[in-house]
Amino acid sequence: MYDQKEFLKWNKRYKKFQKSNKQSITKMLLDFNRKKSANISKKIRRKETGIINERILHTYKWNEKIFKTRKIVPEGKNHGMIMLVDCSGSMQTDKKFTNTIKQVLMLVEFCRKAGIKYKVMGFSDGKYSSRGGQIEYKNSGSTMHLEYSYLPVLREWFSYEQTISQHDFMSTYMFFKTKKYRMVSSHDGPNSSTPLFDSILLLRQIALKFKREENIDILNTITLTDGESNSTRFVDQKYEGVYSKLSSFDPLSKSVYRTSDSNSMENLLKFYRKVVGGNIISFNIVDYPWNEEPVTIKENYLGYDHHYTFCYETVYGKGGKKDMGGKIDSIEELEETFNKGNVNRNNQKVLLSKFIDIIS
């Protein structure tokens, strides 16, 4: 953004978007709190104190429960959410990046209102030729270790630690980047390749630190992409080339990383889950309905616990001339707009209800 005038223009667009999705976020919050309370209620139990309840002492001949009881309410789980957003060049097409940022802003707004600690990071191209420097992931006595020939960039956009004004500025900036993605920092827009595999492996260090420092019990990891990734850029020193079969001790997590194919999302997420735990969710966002179902939900797919593919406009968009500032010229157009709005609300319920079920 170049000046205050430019900022105010994009801030106005962000505020309009925020207002249009207020109802959806409120519904998410109500569902989350209700299901979280229901889960806690199921675990409430009563324990006898050993002190006789004098009020019912006269029933001792037929009532065995004459002792006072104490209600034991378990503490709720501390939730957290970390999101990894694709900044690859393929996200330029079909408004994928725009729609992905909109989805991120909705999830962030939900987290802020629900008191869930969160981080949002964009991933993009970084630097090549890390060889020759310090080897970060070395397995002593073995020629196979996790050395990168390439280091991706992870940039933190949003965090629970931001003030309201910082959050507002960053939301406005990301709205600006959906249209002006080559301006300011190229890392904050769709300008790179897709180093998703390498980014996920690096993300675990951030995720572990996040969990430890904030005492998070359940960390939900969410990737928001168009579904494709580059090959992994690991290096095997012995053969001086990329090596996909890895067996290495990871000093960060004190775990052994074994895979027959490091270019397999399933294998990579298996290791990430072993180290970080929690749910791993994919939001595969497209610009047009690619299936008969508005939201395609797959469980245990490609290593993800839950995998969603959907079109943002189909789920959240209202559609119709009225919503775009035009006039409704006929009864037919009014009916079409009304029906389209109802369909979108139903699609929205499918996605939001399923998502809340997972993170509650």
Given pLDDT bands bounded at 50, 70 and 90, which one contains residue 300? very high
* CA 213 to chain CA mean position, Å: 19
One of 3.40.50, 3.30.750, 3.10.20, 1.20.58 is the CATH number of 77-278, namely: 3.40.50
CA 105/CA 207 separation, integer angstroms: 20
Given pLDDT bands bounded at 50, 70 and 90, which one contains residue 31? confident
pLDDT for residue 320: 39
pLDDT tens by residue, 232-262: 776 555 544 555 566 666 666 677 766 667 7
Residue ranges covered by each domain of the chain: 44-72, 77-278
- Nearest 5°: the CA angle 202, 203, 205 is 80
Q: Which residue do the tokens 């006929």 mark?
A: 330
pLDDT tens by residue, 197-224: 889 988 988 998 999 899 888 899 999 9
**CB 263: neighbour CB atoms within 10 A?**
15
pLDDT for residue 166: 94
pLDDT tens by residue, 63-77: 667 666 665 544 556
CA 144/CA 268 separation, integer angstroms: 17
Sign of the dihedral defined by the CA atoms of residues 275, 276, 280, 286, in that order? negative
